Amino acid sequence: MLKYEPHVHSNHSDGNNSVKEILDEAIKKKIEIISITDHDTLNGSLEAIEIVNEEHLPIIVIPGIEISTKNGHLLVYRIDREVEKGMEMAETIKAAKELGGFTVLTHPFEFYRHGCVKPNYFKHVDAVEVFNAKSYLNFLASYFANKYKKPIMAGSDAHSVYTIGYGLTLVDLNVEMKHKNDNTVSNRVFEAIMGFKVKIEGKRVPLRLRLTKLFK
């Protein structure tokens, strides 16, 4: 099983740390795959890919972005162009899929964190983040993912290097996939997720770390 951290924010949006600091911490924690999912920009992901390729770092980067829609936040992976923010959720999902994107509802039902609160959108996404290390409503995400028979993922929603790895999607792939950054690997990862060949692993972010982020 490969450790995939699919939900991290850098200082390209509202995260505290640089992309290099994030990559170094992920490697230190033996995470093999990572997506930097900054709000409404791919800049963090693109920088991560550049750094990994230039420095030959032992980690796979899958590009990602957290898009602000009218109906809540949406994680999108495997795209090389940004999708316009502020559109309806259904319209955003459609636009992302036209670019070859893999769409994931993140922290659903948490309206105070811009989570989608309408269960009907579960039908249209590729997968659901059923464990978010900051969420109090993971049980609802799990319930509706099961109801609509959707693949599942877990993510840390890390805004600091301290909480990277608090939510991991363990992907059933051969270890030979490590250290390769190309579309083949990305496709294999999401094929495994769609085939329910994953396990989720996580722990809640302690309140003290959340308060540190809040008052920093």
CB atoms within 10 A of CB 84: 11
Global pTM value: 0.91
- Exposure of 9 by Cβ count < 10 A (0-12 exposed, 13-18 middle, 19+ buried)? buried
- Exposure of 176 by Cβ count < 10 A (0-12 exposed, 13-18 middle, 19+ buried)? exposed
pLDDT at 52: 95
Q: pLDDT tens, 36-64?
A: 999 999 999 999 999 999 999 999 999 99
3-state secondary structure of 173: coil
* 193, 171 Cβ separation under 8 angstroms: yes
Distance CA 88, CA 61 (A): 28
* Position 177 pLDDT exceeds 90: no
Q: Residue 194: enclosing H or E segment and its boundaries?
A: helix 183-194
Q: pLDDT tens, 79-105?
A: 999 999 999 999 999 999 999 999 999
2-215 topology per CATH: TIM Barrel (3.20.20)
| Tokens representing residue 34 in the block | 């990572």
Q: Residue 55: enclosing H or E segment and its boundaries?
A: helix 43-55
pLDDT at 35: 98
- Identify each DSSP E strand in the chain by its residue range: 2-8, 33-36, 60-61, 64-69, 72-77, 102-105, 127-132, 152-155, 167-171, 198-202
Average pLDDT, the chain: 90
pLDDT at 214: 47
